[in-house]
A and B are shown apart, each in its own frame.
Chain A
Amino acid sequence: MALLEVRDLSVEFASRARWLCAVERVSFTVAEGEVMGLVGESGSGKTVTCRAILRLLDGPKVRTPSGEARFEGNDLLRLSARALRALHGRRIAMIFQNPSSYLDPLMTIGRQVAEPLVHHEGLRPREARTRAIELLHQVGIPDPRHTVDAYPHQLSGGMRQRAMIAAAVACEPRLLVADEPTTALDVTVQAQILRLLLELRDRTGLAIILITHALGVVAATCDSVAVMYAGRIMERASKRELIRQPKHPYTMGLIRSQPDLVVAGEELPSIEGQLPALGQLPGGCPFHPRCPHALPACRRQDVELEPAGADHRVACIRWRELEAAA
């Protein structure tokens, strides 16, 4: 059974006179212990999707007009605020892109790492400190006895990200949403953080939603992938399928434009044009203005995710033709 099942989730933001759709009818599932990659350009709705599921977007300017997000049987979108707070940090946690701004600058690392345990499980300060040292050790921070009393600004970016992970997994959640956890870090540190996440998964059976714009990260870590464009999922498949046999022209473009696949001296292929602004989505398939295979029909006809093989779904009216031509 799926740990998280998101169905038909839409998210809208209030503009001057109307509601603009940032995420449109997104569906996916995440199983226990699965690492799912959510890939797309900046502004494609990856972060909004995840924050909407965790109900971290709020205020009068956001609404989720449709959809549900079932986590362990409860629809997160309809849970009371109190019940939701009981899940956050205990069953579901999130880590963020820029660990420097997501850690409280005036609280020691140790207190921040142990705070979920103090808050949710009522740990006493002494126990909390001991647990914080253990957690820091588990996430690979050297000399945790010393670091436990340090402030965030005294640590490097990679160490801060490890500390944030330690706080997120302190209560052993079942689902971790990782929003571009390595984007702000050095390449060498990126690999270490990804390895740490996989280790945690292997040890605790935690499921991870990994938001990223780097297909390299997906290739290295994920079990399955959903590709987002303009607030919609364009293609969903296992990682192996998606990398070897992408069926959506957008996914193909993303894979082709990976720098490490290009021979030195050749021009790096790119996808022409840019992501349409919110509220200025073209009719039909949102990708058609940039798609090398677009036909007039793509402009008129709405696309839906449809099955394209076992565990593979794609939202393109021409995927069969394109596959036959390839």
Chain B
Amino acid sequence: MATAGIAASPRVGFETLPASALAGGAICLFWLAVALAAPWVAPYDPIAQDLNATLLPPFGAHLLGTDNFGRDILSRIIWGTRIDLQMGAFGVLFPFVIGTTIGAASGYAGGLVDTLLMRLLDVTMSFPFFVLIIAIVATLGPGLISFYIALAQFLVIKHADFVLAARSLGYSHARIALRHILPNAIMPAVVFSMSDAVIDILLGSSLSYLGLGIQPPTAEWGLMIAEGQGFIASAWWIAFFPGLAIVLLATGFSLLADGFAERFGIRD
């Protein structure tokens, strides 16, 4: 019997996830399958040039057409999935490993370290996004951005009301950091990471597009769009289909993130 105070089943299970999360999960699984099965499902070699078959329109022998070097667009998209999913995954792993470790160590203790990190965050946040990203990626490699954001998460939760309540009950630092802050920092980080993966992929693609990321002839979606740009009037499919792939993957991650946020009551 459901009682007055209880609105829903307390169990956190698969069946309680909103439809958007399931749809997003399905899309992400699809891309994961594509990435894993790339060698078997790609009809052509993604970097093999065929100068007798350049700029072929889609729906012929090449389902999604060919580019100016005669490379098969579909195969390049399929192989590009591996690169783009990796970029997403790196962006997701970093906040967990680095962000939570450093955050847990320094975030709770407070004092000077906290102050310094906060100022560092202020500096990072105040830079124009792309200028900063390009600077960081060019010098240190990707993934660092996510770390800053995860750290911010930990620092924010450190000042949450329920942490104060935990202190008022006399809990040890370890109990507060591990039992109360960490789970709450990780849950939004999971959600955040998923939407972050979208940003990471877009970012990676943008960087490749700008010539800073993945280098040709590797198949990567952003790079493909950049290469197809010159042919947008004559051979639209070169840039269009990788663009569509980015949109589809990003939608999957976004739906998944939204669904989780809804399920766990996390608001932006």
Report the interface size class on chain B: 20 to 34
Q: Does A9 contact B (CB under 8 A)?
A: no
B170 touches A87 (CB 8 A): yes
Option from B5, B170, B172, B187 in Cβ contact (under 8 Å) with A141: B5
Q: Does B162 contact A (CB under 8 A)?
A: yes
Q: Does B164 contact A (CB under 8 A)?
A: yes
Chain A nearest CB from B264 CB (Å) reads 8
User: CB-defined interface of B1-34 with A at 8 Å, one 1/0 digit per residue?
Assistant: 0011111101000000000000000000000000
- Chain B contacts of A105 at CB under 8 A? 162, 184, 264-265
Q: Does B119 contact A (CB under 8 A)?
A: no
User: CB-defined interface of A69-113 with B at 8 Å, one 1/0 digit per residue?
Assistant: 000000000000000111111100110101001111111100000
A147 in contact with B168 given A60-B111, A101-B162 (CB within 8 Å): no
A96 touches B161 (CB 8 A): yes
Among B5, B10, B171, chain A packs the most CB atoms within 10 A around the CB of: B5
Per the bound structure, the CA–CA distance linking A268 and B93 in Å amounts to 60
Q: Does A159 contact B (CB under 8 A)?
A: yes
- Chain B contacts of A167 at CB under 8 A? 169
Nearest CB in chain A to that of B161: its residue: A101
Per the bound structure, the CA–CA distance linking A54 and B3 in Å amounts to 37
- Chain A contacts of B4 at CB under 8 A? 142-143, 156
- Chain A contacts of B170 at CB under 8 A? 84-90, 116, 119-120
Report the interface size class on chain A: 35 or more
A56 touches B169 (CB 8 A): no
User: CB-defined interface of B129-167 with A at 8 Å, one 1/0 digit per residue?
Assistant: 000000000000000000000000000000011101111
Option from A88, A107, A116 in Cβ contact (under 8 Å) with B167: A88
Chain B nearest CB from A216 CB (Å) reads 26
Nearest CB in chain A to that of B162: its residue: A104
A115 in contact with B171 given A103-B162, A103-B165, A104-B180 (CB within 8 Å): yes
Q: Does B211 contact A (CB under 8 A)?
A: no
Among A116, A119, A149, chain B packs the most CB atoms within 10 A around the CB of: A119
- Chain B contacts of A58 at CB under 8 A? 110
A108 touches B10 (CB 8 A): yes
User: CB-defined interface of B173-209 with A at 8 Å, one 1/0 digit per residue?
Assistant: 0010001100110010000000000000000000000
Option from A115, A116, A147 in Cβ contact (under 8 Å) with B6: A147
Q: Does A28 contact B (CB under 8 A)?
A: no
A119 touches B175 (CB 8 A): yes
Per the bound structure, the CA–CA distance linking A167 and B265 in Å amounts to 23
Option from A93, A143, A149, A156 in Cβ contact (under 8 Å) with B168: A93
Per the bound structure, the CA–CA distance linking A101 and B265 in Å amounts to 12
Option from B162, B175, B179, B265 in Cβ contact (under 8 Å) with A102: B162
Q: Does A168 contact B (CB under 8 A)?
A: yes
Per the bound structure, the CA–CA distance linking A54 and B170 in Å amounts to 10
A119 touches B169 (CB 8 A): yes
Tell me which residues from 68 to 116 in chain B have a Cβ below 8 Å from any Cβ of chain A: 110-111, 115
Chain B nearest CB from A54 CB (Å) reads 6
Q: Does A309 contact B (CB under 8 A)?
A: no
A102 touches B6 (CB 8 A): no
Q: Does A153 contact B (CB under 8 A)?
A: yes
Q: Does A42 contact B (CB under 8 A)?
A: no
Chain B nearest CB from A92 CB (Å) reads 8
B7 touches A104 (CB 8 A): no
- Chain A contacts of B7 at CB under 8 A? 153-154
Q: Does A150 contact B (CB under 8 A)?
A: yes
Chain B nearest CB from A172 CB (Å) reads 13
- Chain A contacts of B171 at CB under 8 A? 85, 89, 115, 119
Per the bound structure, the CA–CA distance linking A143 and B264 in Å amounts to 24
B167 touches A56 (CB 8 A): yes
B164 touches A156 (CB 8 A): no
Nearest CB in chain A to that of B175: its residue: A119
- Chain A contacts of B167 at CB under 8 A? 56, 88
Per the bound structure, the CA–CA distance linking A93 and B175 in Å amounts to 17
A168 in contact with B162 given A105-B184, A106-B187, A108-B10 (CB within 8 Å): no
Per the bound structure, the CA–CA distance linking A94 and B168 in Å amounts to 6
Chain A nearest CB from B139 CB (Å) reads 33
A-B contact pairs, 13 of them (CB 8 A): A54-B168, A101-B160, A102-B162, A103-B165, A141-B5, A142-B4, A142-B5, A146-B6, A153-B7, A154-B6, A154-B7, A154-B8, A168-B169
Question: B residues within 8 Å of A by Cβ?
Answer: 3-8, 10, 110-111, 115, 160-162, 164-172, 175, 179-180, 183-184, 187, 264-265
Q: 8 closest pairs, A vs B, by CB?
A: A88-B170, A89-B169, A89-B170, A101-B161, A143-B3, A94-B168, A102-B165, A85-B170
13 further A-B pairs in the complex, CB-CB below 8 A; given A89-B168, A107-B180, A147-B6: A56-B167, A60-B111, A84-B170, A93-B169, A94-B165, A96-B164, A108-B10, A141-B5, A143-B3, A143-B5, A147-B3, A150-B5, A156-B4
